């Protein structure tokens, strides 16, 4: 039972990031979409993260200028997420039941 728990726990993060990247890569950044932004739902006019999803999607569509205008950190966030996926997959191969990167 513990091995099942560890398997789910170790694969949950990588599954989430892969799904998020796939959805952003295939989404149309020019269409309006439902926002998960807490700041948006509370009615605050500014959110430091808003536009990040659009920026990543524009980046995957090869529209670098639009990506930067949607959010300046979108391309950097894409690289970080892809690196994290790579890191989780390599980590899983070396020790499939390791709980964290720190121990």
CA distance linking residue 43 with residue 41, whole number of Å? 5
Share of the chain above pLDDT 70, in %: 84
pTM of the model: 0.73
User: What does the CA dihedral 9, 36, 55, 45 come to, rounded to 10 degrees?
Assistant: -140
Read off the pLDDT of residues 46-68 as tens digits, 9 standing for 90 and up. 888 888 988 999 999 999 999 99
More confident residue, 6 or 73: 73
Instruction: Tell me what the mean pLDDT of segment 10-15 comes to.
Output: 84
Cα 37 to Cα 4, 47, 68, 72: the distances in Å are 33, 8, 20, 18
For 18-72, the DSSP string reads HHHHHHHHHS-TTS------HHHHHT-S--TTTTHHHHHHHHHTT-HHHHHHH-T
Asked if 7 and 92 count as a contact pair (C-beta separation under 8 A), the reply is: no
């Amino acid at each position: 039972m513990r091995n099942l728990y560890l398997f789910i726990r170790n694969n949950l993060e990588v599954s989430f990031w892969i799904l998020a990247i796939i959805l952003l890569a295939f989404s149309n950044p020019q269409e309006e979409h439902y926002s998960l932004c807490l700041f948006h739902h509370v009615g605050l006019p500014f959110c430091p993260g808003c536009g990040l999803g659009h920026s990543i999607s524009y980046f995957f569509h090869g529209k670098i200028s639009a990506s930067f205008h949607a959010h300046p950190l979108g391309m950097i966030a894409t690289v970080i997420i892809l690196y994290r996926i790579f890191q989780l997959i390599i980590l899983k191969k070396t020790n499939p039941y390791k709980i964290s990167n720190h121990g």
